[in-house]
Amino acid sequence: MSLEPFLLLAAALFSIGLFGVLTQQSVVMLMMGLELMLGGVIVGAAAVWRHVAPAVADGQVLVVLAVTVMAVEMAVGFAVVTALFRAREVDMTDMAAELKE
Amino acid sequence: MFDDVVFWALALPAVAAGVMVFRFDSMARATYALLTSLLCVGGEVLLLGLDYLGVVIVLMMTIEMAVMAVFMVMYMMNPAGLMPMTMVHNAKGAVVICAAVLAVLVAGILLAPWPARRGEPSADPTRDLGLSLMGPQMLTMMTLGLALVATIVATVVLATRRGRYDRYGDDVDARCADDPVRGGTGR
């Protein structure tokens, strides 16, 4: 098994996630897109560790970092949705545009 | 050969479920599609020989999607997908951008001269990871720990209904907090 198929999978997941982030109006669906993008990053980092530098653990540390970012993104995202819903009763990005004007 | 079969058996569902996340009407189905995709990601990590991280990803994603399903039902209209609806903006522009990003990434992946593998994976990569996090990568570990503590504080501050201005007045100078239920021993 070579490096390229794993990286192609990572690129596909990243692009699908990016599509979700750019198009979804619901904040929770937008966060799902971010999760998919980070899933792609995890596959890419693990594959690079395995196929480029398996003797050192730096690639694994990158996976740990991506997993932590996932957890933080999820927790803060839900907290922001809660605060937004409490203040404005909205759960859509387009309705939370007061600062745009 | 076996690795190839396992790779494709996980990669194709991962991508298909990833696409379905944004095609399902039902938010609950979208959540489970995302769970499928991320479980396949965990499977790929296991296939790459990272047993510990693969299991961590599988367990974490399972719990995370369970929490996400609860939030879906709490906040979103149409959580069960009983009426077809789309909540997207600028889909055409996003398709163009994503196709361009995918094309650039694929071109980079196929054209880049990837370096040859240096060294062999040790018998126990998890031990390597632990020694690395507690040794040369200690700063990373400490930063991650601090970020997680900050996240805990930030989520509580954001999600709480009554902040310090509600409890102690606009100038935060009240002598005792104005709580619906008085705390302390003298209540």
Backbone angles phi, psi at B79, to 5 degrees: -65, -25
Q: How far from the centroid of its chain's Cα atoms is residue B10's Cα?
A: 19
Name the pLDDT band for A68 (thresholds 50, 70, 90).
very high
pLDDT of residue B79: 60
Write down the pTM of the prediction.
0.89
Name every residue whose Cβ is closer than 8 Å to that of residue A101 and which is 6 or more positions away in sequence: none
Q: Are residues B15 and B75 in the same domain?
A: yes
CB contact, 8 Å: B39 with chain A? no
pLDDT, average across residues A7-14: 96
Better pLDDT: A21 or A81: A21
Does A81 score more than 70 pLDDT? yes
Structural domain includes residue B116: no
DSSP secondary-structure letter at B120? -
Structural domain includes residue B88: no
pLDDT of residue B81: 62
pLDDT, average across residues B64-70: 86
Q: How far from the centroid of its chain's Cα atoms is residue B45's Cα?
A: 15
B134-187 tens-digit pLDDT:
999 999 999 999 999 999 999 998 888 887 888 888 888 888 877 777 766 655
Q: How far is B175 from chain A (nearest CA, A)?
A: 27
Of the partner residues B4, B19, B98, the one whose CB lies closest to the CB of residue A18:
B98
B84-118 tens-digit pLDDT:
666 778 888 899 999 999 999 999 999 999 988 88
ipTM score = 0.91
Chain A residues with beta carbon closer than 8 angstroms to that of B87: 24-26, 29, 92
Q: Are residues B1 and B78 in the same domain?
A: yes
Better pLDDT: A16 or A87: A16
Structural domain includes residue B17: yes
DSSP for A33-68, written as a single string = HHHHHHHHHHHHHHHHHHHT-TTSSHHHHHHHHHHH
pLDDT, average across residues A41-66: 93
Residue B54: which domain range?
1-83
Q: Are A74 and B133 in contact (CB < 8 Å)?
A: no
Name every residue whose Cβ is closer than 8 Å to that of residue A28 and which is 6 or more positions away in sequence: A77, A81, A91, B27, B68, B71, B72, B75, B76
Residue B120, token pair as written in the block: 């062999």
Structural domain includes residue B101: no
H/E element, B53: helix B51-75
Structural domain includes residue B37: yes
Does A99 score more than 70 pLDDT? no
Does B67 score more than 90 pLDDT? no
- In three-state secondary structure terms, B150 is helix
Q: Are B56 and A67 in contact (CB < 8 Å)?
A: yes
Fold of A3-89: Helix Hairpins (1.10.287)
Better pLDDT: B11 or B87: B11
pLDDT of residue B68: 84
Radius of gyration of chain A (CA): 17
CA distance B21 to B15: 10
pLDDT of residue B24: 83
CA distance B45 to B55: 9
Q: Map out the domains of chain A as residue ranges.
A: 3-89
B35-48 tens-digit pLDDT:
999 999 999 999 99
Does A100 score more than 70 pLDDT? no
- CA separation, residue A100 to residues A23, A62, A67, A91, B18 (Å): 18, 35, 32, 17, 31
Paired strand residues for A24: B88
Backbone angles phi, psi at B89, to 5 degrees: -130, 145
In chain B, the number of structural domains is 2
